[in-house]
Amino acid sequence: MSRIGNLPINIPAGVTIDHKDGIVVVKGPKGELCQKMDASIKMKVEDGQVVFEVDENSPVNYKQKRAFHGLYRSLINNMVIGVSEGFKKTLELVGVGYRVSNQGNLIEFSLGYTHPIFIQLPQEVKVETKSERNQNPLIILESCDKQLLGLICAKIRSFRMPEPYKGKGVLFQGEVIRRKSGKTAAAK
- Tell me the pTM: 0.87
* pLDDT tens readout for residues 110-144: 999 999 999 999 999 999 999 999 999 999 999 99
Neighbouring C-beta atoms of residue 69, cutoff 10 Å: 22
Give CA–CA dist 90/46, Å, rounded. 36
Give CA–CA dist 51/55, Å, rounded. 13
Per-residue pLDDT, 65: 84
Per-residue pLDDT, 74: 94
Residue 128 φ/ψ region, left for φ over 0, alpha for ψ in the -120 to 50 degree band, beta for the rest: beta
For the chain, the straight-line distance linking the first and the last C-alpha, in angstroms and rounded, comes to 56
The CA-CA-CA angle for residues 64, 70, 73, to 5°, reads 130
Low-confidence ranges of the chain (pLDDT < 50): 1
Per-residue pLDDT, 187: 55
Per-residue pLDDT, 152: 96
DSSP state of 97: T
φ/ψ of residue 75, rounded to 5: -65, -45
